[in-house]
Amino acid sequence: MDEEKEKKVVFVWDMDETLILLKSLITGTYTKAFNGSKDVQKGIEIGKTWENQILRICDDYFFYEQIEGCNKPFVDSTREYDDGLDLTDYDFANDAFVGAAFDDDANKKKLAYRHRIIAHKYKKGLRSLFGEKMIKSWDNLYEVTDDFTDKWLSSAKACVAQCAGDSGAENINVIVTSGSLIPSLVKCLLFRLDDLISYDNVYSSWEVGKYQCFSLIKERFDGPNVQFCAIGDGWEECEAAENMQWPFVQIDPVPVSSSHRFPGLNLETLGHYIGVIYGGDSDDEDE
């Protein structure tokens, strides 16, 4: 039906323990839930390897040491302070940027410059920053992690791709993570989500909370034929979705659970949740 085909869905994803598994690997909670069938120490080592790589890239390539105390809900939140200066020869190491110590316009402009470079690097991808040897090591780590988690990473990515490619409309995938912004962008790059989720669709609720981020997303994308669906593992996004009157799909990495997990969750299932809240024939969602 043409009217149905025109509908656009904004899928609002949590990141950690939803699209990727990281914290639960580091703490061992993911592996222990399998009651001895998975190697807890191996899971911890995999998680810590990812953590070290994420922090190293953040510090060395994404200004994280300088701007860690200046977390913003999204990259373009500083755009109004960016005067468009050519940054080709700009000296970021000696521009007297003082992080969160001063919140004046001069400092905000310097933060905006950094955000512009971060957005540019995200759009160009990791291959523009690193050689083939480094890329290969991350590819290997991704495959090891995917095998260890029973294809959680690749099936989650496939679900996001399925959501984006629904034939009815150009749907939108957005991430709202409770982690800080820069590491979350780096996670998107390392976990192969950057080709599906643009830098400006990554939000951090670290300072402002999930409800405020959901409100920003609704304000940005809302329209007569727009529907929203939130997917995550935590109480905060569940509560925020309820307050927004959006459908919420609960994720739980634990193998025996009444909630959803990867592999398993797909567009058809999401469509049923959307249909319950918004009405209409949810089976059309995956046609």
Q: Which stretches within 33-131 are classed as H helix?
A: 40-61, 64-67, 105-124
CA distance linking residue 270 with residue 48, whole number of Å: 32
Q: Both ends of the chain: CA-CA distance in Å? A: 11
Query: Active-site residue among 2, 14, 91, 103?
Result: 14
Residue 16 a catalytic site member: yes
Query: Active-site residue among 16, 82, 146, 166?
Result: 16
Task: Give the Å distances, CA to CA, from 131 to 121, 134, 137.
Answer: 15, 6, 10
**Residue entry with tokens 């190293």:** 56
CB burial string 6-34: b at 16+ within 10 A, e below: ebbbbbbbbbbbbbbbbebbbeeebbebe
Nearest to 16 by CA among 30, 31, 34, 37: 30
Nearest to 263 by CA among 179, 186, 159: 159
Say which residues have a Cβ less than 8 Å from residue 39's Cβ, sequence separation at least 6.
31
Q: Which residues are catalytic?
A: 14, 16
